[in-house]
Chain A
Amino acid sequence: MSNIGKLKRWTGTTALALVALSLAATASSAATLKEIKDRGYIRIAVANEIPYGFVDPNGDAKGAGPEVATAVVKALGIAPENIQWVVTNFSSLIPGLQADRFDMTAAEMAIRPERCDKVIYSEPDTSYGEGLLVLKGDPKGVHTYADFTKPGMKVAVMAGADQLGMMQKLGVPEANIVTINANADAISTVADGRADAYAATGLTAGSLAQKSDKVALAPDFTDPVIDGAAARSWGGFNFAQNSTDLRDAFNAELVKFKKTDAWKQILTSYGFTPEDIAGASAKTTEQLCTK
């Protein structure tokens, strides 16, 4: 009996020590550009979101993020075949960078002040507005995010995505929000009536709408107005907090690449509108990271 008592105390102390250890650490050490070149490969994470960044069944990385990243790291002297693509859940992107599981992400993650505290960003690569995926014919008549403040309405959002924050700012009650794990679950969630709509960026919703004839984009959709402005997001590449060397080198080439037609072609081929493309250079990461 006394043995077990001792044991319990011991387990408690160990657990506390481990927690303290985890809290004390900010991030695992990240590689510099030189270390990556010496090592011979770079690890880039994507989150399986069409059209921002995804891997097709052959294992090839596609999407606005991966294609731009491939061109930029090539300019840095890393050949495309030396890129190791890591596919992960959207909500694992930041933890993965912190744990040094990959060197950067190419998921066009929106640049937001609260994320800038945890990871560092490149300059914006893309800009995009919001969208809403509903059942074909829009039986519930939803046209904007604010419609979900009404009781009984349900909206699905992806774990870790910005739309949750937008819903909270618009005053959508917790009970009306359904969290799903990945975009792959969105169509069945809406088609089976587990939610009345899926809130995602315009391009994600648009590409999902094309995949099934049970769902469609909400007609007459208006972008949510948050803090007095229509919501627009700027997606960039993320790096671990102490990867400034790699980020700065990447940024220099990214800014050059954004002036080329090749960059515009990549974005256009994935459905970004001229407005999205012009918008991508309208703000800097510094502005977007400021609260």
Chain B
Amino acid sequence: MSWVDYLKPLSQGAWVTVQLAVFSTLLGGVLSFAAGIGKISSNWAIRSVAIVYIEVFRGTSLLVQLFWLYFALPIAGAAIGLDLRLPPVEAGVAALGLNIGAYGAEVVRGAIQAVRPAQHEAAAALNFTRRQALWRVILPQAIPEMMPSFGNLAVQNLKDTALASLISLGDLSFRAEQIRNYTQDSTTVYTIILFMYFGMALVLTALMRLLERTVTRWQRAGS
């Protein structure tokens, strides 16, 4: 087998990695906003849920979260009579998304709190409700501030998908291990996937740039 023969199984794995990264980043994005806004809510119940979520998922190892969802949850589910066997892809997306969402929540909270108090006061003076102030005044200013950190987290998340290979998910790293086990050609296999991850990260960075341009459009229109 030469290195050209590795490309077919590796690209099948790369496709799984792409799917994992896209879905978990989307899930993580939704959770970031939910928990980030929840953490500064005036309702203590919402605030507690957000804080518990952020601290638990940020404070425990992603690998252990994956194993817990994959190996421990089905047993715990059976004990209370529920079928909680998440298929590998769902377990991987859930663990990655929950984990990156907890980090993203702090980015969202930080950016919202960085909006100048005068903006809140102006919104109040114009008789905006709290919800209107959040959506029309605060978030449009906060989101551009979040973008560089979100870009970092998305790339981080892409690379974290490699951990999902340990729950028998056929991603890029998993395929690489399989070929390496068969051929023992560690240098070639690892070099190829290094470049494949790098290529995916470049595409992801470009996409995040595009998103950044979109959310900052109002700034350029105003000036």
Could you say which residues of chain A place their CB within 8 Å of the CB of B179?
57
Could you say which residues of chain B place their CB within 8 Å of the CB of A7?
48, 51-52
Q: Given A21-B80, A88-B168, A89-B166, do A184 and B75 touch, yes or no (CB 8 Å)? A: no
Q: Given A21-B80, A89-B166, A99-B74, do A54 and B52 touch, yes or no (CB 8 Å)? A: no
In the complex, the answer to whether B9 meets A99 with C-beta atoms within 8 Å is no
A34 within 8 A of B: no
Could you say which residues of chain B place their CB within 8 Å of the CB of A89?
166
Give the nearest-CB partner of B56 in chain A: A11
Partner of B71, one of A10, A48, A99: A99
A24 within 8 A of B: yes
Could you say which residues of chain A place their CB within 8 Å of the CB of B72?
22, 99
Partner of A101, one of B5, B56, B168, B184: B168
Interface centre among B85, B184, B186 (most CB of A within 10 A): B184
CB distance from B102 to the nearest CB of A (A): 14
Interface centre among B51, B70, B72, B183 (most CB of A within 10 A): B72
B195 within 8 A of A: no
Give the nearest-CB partner of B184 in chain A: A211
Could you say which residues of chain B place their CB within 8 Å of the CB of A86?
168
Partner of A99, one of B5, B70, B180: B70
B77 within 8 A of A: yes
In the complex, the answer to whether B184 meets A212 with C-beta atoms within 8 Å is yes
In the complex, the answer to whether B75 meets A25 with C-beta atoms within 8 Å is yes
Q: Given A88-B168, A92-B71, A187-B184, do A59 and B76 touch, yes or no (CB 8 Å)? A: no
Interface centre among B5, B56, B80, B181 (most CB of A within 10 A): B181
A-facing residues in B54-110 (Cβ within 8 Å): 55-56, 70-80, 85
B-facing residues in A1-57 (Cβ within 8 Å): 3-4, 6-7, 10-11, 18, 21-22, 24-25, 27-29, 45, 48, 50, 54-57
Could you say which residues of chain B place their CB within 8 Å of the CB of A3?
44, 47-48
Bound-state Cα–Cα, A10 to B70, Å: 25
Interface centre among A25, A48, A50 (most CB of B within 10 A): A25
Bound-state Cα–Cα, A188 to B182, Å: 14
Give the nearest-CB partner of A211 in chain B: B184
Bound-state Cα–Cα, A48 to B184, Å: 12
CB distance from B3 to the nearest CB of A (A): 12
A279 within 8 A of B: no
For chain B, give the interface size range. 35 or more
Could you say which residues of chain B place their CB within 8 Å of the CB of A201?
none
Q: Given A57-B1, A59-B9, A100-B85, do A25 and B76 touch, yes or no (CB 8 Å)? A: yes
In the complex, the answer to whether A22 meets B181 with C-beta atoms within 8 Å is no
In the complex, the answer to whether B78 meets A29 with C-beta atoms within 8 Å is yes
In the complex, the answer to whether B178 meets A55 with C-beta atoms within 8 Å is yes
In the complex, the answer to whether B9 meets A57 with C-beta atoms within 8 Å is yes
Partner of B78, one of A28, A55, A188: A28
Bound-state Cα–Cα, A117 to B102, Å: 39
Give the nearest-CB partner of A215 in chain B: B184
Seen from chain B, the residues whose Cβ lies within 8 Å of a Cβ on chain A are 1, 5-6, 9, 44, 47-48, 51-52, 55-56, 70-80, 85, 166, 168, 174, 177-184, 186
Q: Contacts A25-B79, A57-B1, A89-B166 known; list 5 others, CB within 8 Å.
A: A3-B48, A11-B56, A57-B179, A98-B71, A99-B73
22 contacts across the A-B interface (CB closer than 8 A): A3-B47, A3-B48, A11-B56, A21-B76, A22-B79, A28-B78, A29-B78, A48-B181, A54-B182, A55-B178, A56-B182, A57-B1, A57-B5, A57-B9, A57-B179, A87-B178, A89-B166, A92-B168, A96-B168, A99-B70, A100-B78, A101-B71
